[in-house]
Amino acid sequence: MKHIAMIGAGISGLMSALELLEQGCSVSIFDQQQSGQAASWAGGGILSPMYPWRYPAAVNVLAQSAKTEYLRWNAKLQPDTGIDFQIHETGMLIFDESDFDIGLNFAELFQQPMQQAEHLHSTELHQLNPHISAQFQQAIYFPQLANVRNPRLLQSILCYLKQHPRVQLFEHCPIERLELHGQQVRAIVDQTGQRYQADDYVLTTGAWSARWAEQLDVQIPVRPVHGQMVLFKTPENWLPTMCMNQVMYLIPRQDGHIVCGSSMAEQGFDTRLNADTTANILEASYAMVPALKDLPIIKQWAGLRPGSPDGGIPYIGLMPEFDNLWANFGHFRNGLCMAPASARLLRQLLLGQPPDVSPEAYSPARLQRAALAS
């Protein structure tokens, strides 16, 4: 069976490794830093695109199975790792009134049963979540939406992979160069000059994916997009639902932590916190749940999303002009919820299996067309 080299150990790379291992492959995973510490760790973990009707169908096709797939993987991995993903089925309240009509009809119009919504008015809204500000007299509620505690998700997957006999994990091992010969990658080379060989190679390098453009002679329009978060600590199960308003969200964890965010800024690979962004997140959070003003902030951080065009449709499949170099990158804001289906599609294409979804929308041939058009 095939030996696969995975360059990048975020959620896309790790889920791809799991899928390939299930088929009997062996996998070598390389990351320039500690595995699972970039955008995959930094995100909120909502198992749905924010306002899914604002995204292309190709994004929602991959995202729709996120909750089901993570429940399945949690059941498989937890007995071996002892780590629960903590999938929290809170549902989501959205207060943006301009989105009510499309939100209420989205599930039926686009055959997305997980996105069934209810229109709540004042009394039932505040019965469901008594901490919501009195300024909100109505909301749409998505009872089936959930969040995953993404640091625990990553810890569990890494624990499983590190003890797997067909996995090699190389952390703090930046891959500097692809050794190319015609339509083949012969090897990958790290910063010390060490060569590593495999049958197939997969780029799961997230926000850093454009670094391969020059070597591959193709345009890769993926850029880092800064996103910032604030973490509150409340009593256990204090906030009963996720909340969303004007693209800002509150995500409650089972133990009382509440993740608040998020922002978008173009500032290269700089992950420093911005005071104005923090103020905007706090203002939005307090507007939704005023009682947060009296609760402690225990942490702030920022991550870099792999910003991409086409509404964040990822690139999944063979890279243009190559026989054994594959892509699974460019997921923008929805990497965590697209990761299980993206990894499954990559596995199916790489192993020549019938794909569950039509792969054309995700084809890296889009990169080739972009290069030809320049």
| pLDDT at 367 > cutoff 80 | yes
330: exposed, middle or buried (C-beta count within 10 Å: 0-12, 13-18, 19+)? buried
Tell me the percentage of the chain whose pLDDT exceeds 90. Answer: 93
| pLDDT at 370 > cutoff 60 | no
Q: Residue 371 has what pLDDT?
A: 52
Is the previous residue joined to 262 through a cis bond, with omega within 30 degrees of 0? yes
226 touches 304 (CB < 8 A): yes
Using one digit for the tens of pLDDT, what is the confidence trace for 72-90? 999 999 999 999 999 999 9
**3-state SS string for 352-372:** CCCCCCCCHHHCCHHHHHHHH
Tell me the percentage of the chain whose pLDDT exceeds 70. Answer: 98
Q: Cβ of 279: how many Cβ atoms within 10 Å?
A: 10
Question: What is the band of 175 on the pLDDT scale with cuts at 50, 70, 90?
Answer: very high
Extended strands (E) in 60-112? 92-94
| pLDDT at 235 > cutoff 60 | yes
Q: Residue 373 has what pLDDT?
A: 55
**Which tokens belong to 211?**
């670094």
- Determine the Cα–Cα distance for residues 273 and 24; give it in Å rounded to an integer: 43
Instruction: Using DSSP, state whether 123 is helix, strand or coil.
Output: helix
Instruction: Order the strands of the 200-203 sheet from edge to edge.
Output: 167-170, 26-30, 3-7, 200-203, 325-329, 315-318
Question: What is the band of 43 on the pLDDT scale with cuts at 50, 70, 90?
Answer: confident
Write down the mean pLDDT value for the chain. Answer: 95
**Which tokens belong to 259?**
């993740």
Q: Residue 150 has what pLDDT?
A: 94
Question: What is the band of 356 on the pLDDT scale with cuts at 50, 70, 90?
Answer: very high
- Determine the Cα–Cα distance for residues 17 and 339; give it in Å rounded to an integer: 11
Using one digit for the tens of pLDDT, what is the confidence trace for 312-352? 999 999 999 999 999 999 999 999 999 999 999 999 999 99
Backbone angles phi, psi at 102, to 5 degrees: -65, -35
pTM for the whole thing? 0.95
Could you give all domains of the chain from N- to C-terminal order, each with its CATH number?
A: 3-46+152-222+310-373 (3.50.50.60), 92-144+223-307 (3.30.9.10)
| pLDDT at 33 > cutoff 80 | yes
Using one digit for the tens of pLDDT, what is the confidence trace for 92-144? 999 999 999 999 999 998 989 999 999 999 999 999 999 999 999 999 999 99
Q: Residue 138 has what pLDDT?
A: 98
